[in-house]
């Protein structure tokens, strides 16, 4: 159960960029293990999921958001904005939303181990995805991934996105369902 160092780096950059006045307080709240990882982690290195994503997300949500799910969502959106720039932005801009999300489900497995996202239904203006496996069943992680997908769809040109999580691994369901539609 692990995440790539790039996930932790993204959260650190999110705090520096979007919550600069809270950055020092956030770092003081991080666990000793998370702080040690921040000092030495590289983007390709695998980290324990608790220290690499859960602890830093919980702490940013406590400091900066009344609703922790909103904080995790915004952190995921920021990660997509940064990771889908440059060369990857061209790929996203020329892809259909369905193709891009099918592809992104494979990309998630390179950041979260283990992870499995299945495309259950797709039309020109909607998609139903089932997240059937995560490194840990954690609601904030589900929302971080949802925020990432939402921002990726916006970059792809989708307008008036409706993004609903209708079931959740973290609440005991067999999968997390992302029911997504756009104009």
Evaluate whether residue 42 is within a structural domain: yes
Mean pLDDT along residues 106-126: 87
pLDDT tens profile 42-74:
888 999 999 999 999 999 999 999 999 999 999
DSSP string, the chain: -EEEHHHHHHHHHHHHHH-GGGHHHHHHHS-HHHHHHHHH--TTSEEEHIIIIIHHHHHHHHHH-SSHHHHHHHHHHHHHHHHTSTHHHHHHHTS-HHHHHHHHHHHHTTTEES-EEEEEEEETTEEEEEEEE-SS--HHHHHHHHHHHHHHHHHTT--S-EEEEEE-GGGT-SSEEEEEE--
The pLDDT assigned to 55 comes to 97
For residues 28 and 100, state if they share a domain.
no
Domain for residue 67, yes or no? yes
Q: Is residue 87 part of a domain?
A: no
Distance CA 91, CA 96 (A): 10
Segment 138-147, tens digit of pLDDT: 999 999 999 9
Domain end: 55, 81, 107, which one?
A: 81
- Does residue 109 lie within any of the structural domains? yes
The per-residue pLDDT for 43 is 86
In a domain, 100, yes or no: yes
Q: Answer whether 152's CB lies under 8 Å from 100's CB.
A: yes
Query: Residue 87 pLDDT > 60, yes or no?
Result: no
Where is mean pLDDT largest: 66-75, 98-107, 111-120?
66-75
Give yes or no: residues 73 and 108 share one domain: no
Asked whether residue 61 is domain-assigned, the answer is yes
What domain count does the chain have?
A: 2
Domain ranges, residue 63: 2-81
Q: Do both 103 and 142 map to the same domain?
A: yes
Same domain, 60 and 19: yes
Q: Show which of 81, 113, 143 is a domain's final residue.
A: 81
Band (pLDDT 50/70/90 cuts) for residue 17 is very high
Q: Report the range of poorest mean pLDDT among 31-35, 50-54, 133-137, 172-176.
A: 133-137
**Claim to verify: residue 76 and residue 106 sit in the same structural domain:** no
158-167 tens-digit pLDDT:
899 999 999 9
Among the candidates 22, 47, 81, a domain finishes at 81
């Amino acid at each position: 159960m692990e995440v790539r160092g790039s996930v932790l780096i993204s959260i650190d950059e999110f705090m520096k960029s979007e919550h600069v006045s809270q950055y020092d307080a956030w770092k003081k709240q991080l666990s000793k293990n998370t702080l040690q990882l921040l000092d030495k982690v590289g983007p390709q290195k695998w980290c324990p999921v608790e220290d690499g994503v859960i602890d830093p997300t919980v702490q940013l949500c406590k400091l900066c958001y009344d609703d922790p799910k909103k904080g995790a969502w915004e952190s995921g959106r920021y990660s997509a904005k940064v990771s889908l720039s440059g060369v990857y932005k061209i790929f996203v801009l020329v892809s259909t939303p369905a193709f891009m999300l099918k592809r992104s489900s494979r990309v998630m497995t390179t950041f979260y181990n283990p992870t499995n996202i299945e495309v259950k239904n797709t039309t020109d203006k909607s998609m139903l995805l089932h997240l059937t496996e995560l490194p840990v069943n954690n609601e904030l992680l589900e929302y971080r991934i949802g925020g990432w997908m939402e921002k990726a769809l916006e970059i792809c040109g989708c307008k008036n996105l409706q993004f609903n999580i209708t079931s959740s691994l973290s609440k005991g369901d067999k999968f997390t369902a992302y029911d997504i539609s756009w104009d």
